[in-house]
A and B are shown apart, each in its own frame.
Chain A
Amino acid sequence: MVPALLLVAAVVLVGSPFVVNGAPYEASMGIVSKIFYFHVPFAAVMLTSTFVSGIASAVYLIRRKPMADYVALAAGELVTVFGIFVLVSGPLWARKAWGVWWVWEPRLTMTLVMWMIFAAYQILRRFGGPGTDVLGAVVAIFGMAVAPFVYWSVNMWRGMHPQTSVVPTLPESMRDPLMWCMAGIFALYAALVLVRARVERNRAALEAAYIALED
């Protein structure tokens, strides 16, 4: 499964510079608008990952299956990793489109808050010691609860960020490159979640092996 996903991701992402290069410029923003073809898929993956982490955490709290915790941890980590690109590429685009690097408007502020919740989740899981799996699961669920507000914030509150209606109404010449990049980044994401969850399973097995060695 992982090699197949990585192969799809590699083929699509290696082709992505050519696909993005062939896509037309947005009329008012020019070349900088091409950040869109990676910014939107990374943001979509980031939001999806909050749900994967939150739902896996809920499953862990209810059923106490270790694999659910490993998936929650993997997805939570990927929220922060993909979120770094979203939070940096957005200002790079905004600098040219809006004339400023950052504005404290609803979408940007809520994205930053959500990212910080998942960054806190990572710190908690890494340095919190025994028992943080349960507390971490609750934090991940809170992080997931913020994600719908991040998505709909552009429609609910007045802000500078484009609304969610932009993607469904794209012309074909812009939609196809976006979907190409989306496919590659989602394939990469799926592979990374599986690999990271497996690493976490091995880490848990290592801890158990050390305990058995000490007995």
Chain B
Amino acid sequence: MTQTATTTMTPSATPETMPGGTLMLVAYGLAWAVVIGYVFMLWRKSGRIEQELADVTAKLNARPKR
């Protein structure tokens, strides 16, 4: 399919079909998704690092002192 440059403005034959309420709900849904997704990711990352840190610290403490 070839694409040609548009040089004139042609009014759309169909009326505006994008309802404002839907756009608003999508926006608010996205806001919550971004926040909840980030908090979940941070919670998992924090838990993993704390666990790993506890394991390595335990290994360090178990080593004989020089």
Q: Is A213 a contact of B60 with CB atoms below 8 Å? A: yes
B57 touches A32 (CB 8 A): no
Assess whether A96 is in contact with B23, with CB atoms less than 8 Å apart.
yes
Number of interface residues of B (CB under 8 A): 26
Given known A-B contacts A32-B20, A38-B28, A92-B26, A199 and B45 have beta carbons under 8 A apart: yes
Report Cα–Cα, A35/B50, bound state, in Å: 38
Q: Are A205 and B23 in contact (CB under 8 A)?
A: no
Query: Which B residues lie within 8 Å of A84 (CB)?
Result: 34
Q: Which residues of A contact B42 (CB under 8 A)?
A: 192, 195-196, 199
Shortest Cβ distance from residue B57 to the other chain A in the assembled complex, whole angstroms: 6
Residue A210 at the B interface, CB < 8 A?
A: yes
CB-CB < 8 A to B31: which residues of A?
38, 42, 85, 89
In contact, A213 and B46 (Cβ under 8 angstroms): no
Q: Once the chains are docked, how many angstroms separate the CA of A36 from the CA of B30?
A: 14
Q: Knowing A38-B31, A188-B35 are in contact, say whether A209-B24 is a contact too (CB < 8 A).
A: no
Interface residues of A in 69-120 (CB under 8 A from B): 81-82, 84-85, 88-89, 92-93, 95-96, 99
**Does residue A17 face the partner (Cβ distance < 8 Å to B)?**
yes
Q: How far is the CA of A85 from the CA of B16 in the complex (A)?
A: 25
Once A199-B46, A209-B57 are accepted as A-B contacts, the answer to whether A93 and B27 lie under 8 Å apart by CB is yes
Chain B residues with CB under 8 A of A206: 49, 52-53, 56
Q: Contacting B24 at CB < 8 Å: which of A35, A85, A188, A210?
A: A35
B59 (CB) vs chain A CBs: closest residue: A213
A-side interface size class: 35 or more
**CB < 8 Å: which of B20, B27, B34, B39 contacts A30?**
B20
In the complex, which residues 25-66 of chain B have their Cβ closer than 8 Å to any Cβ of chain A?
26-28, 30-31, 34-35, 38-39, 42, 45-46, 49-50, 52-53, 56-57, 59-60
Q: Give chain A nearest CB distance to B64 CB in angstroms.
A: 13
Contact status B60-A209, CB under 8 Å: yes
Residue B21 interfacial (CB < 8 Å): yes
Could you show 21 A-B contacts with beta carbons less than 8 Å apart? A35-B23, A35-B24, A38-B28, A85-B30, A85-B34, A89-B31, A92-B26, A92-B27, A93-B23, A93-B27, A95-B23, A96-B20, A96-B23, A192-B38, A195-B46, A199-B45, A206-B49, A206-B53, A209-B57, A210-B56, A213-B56
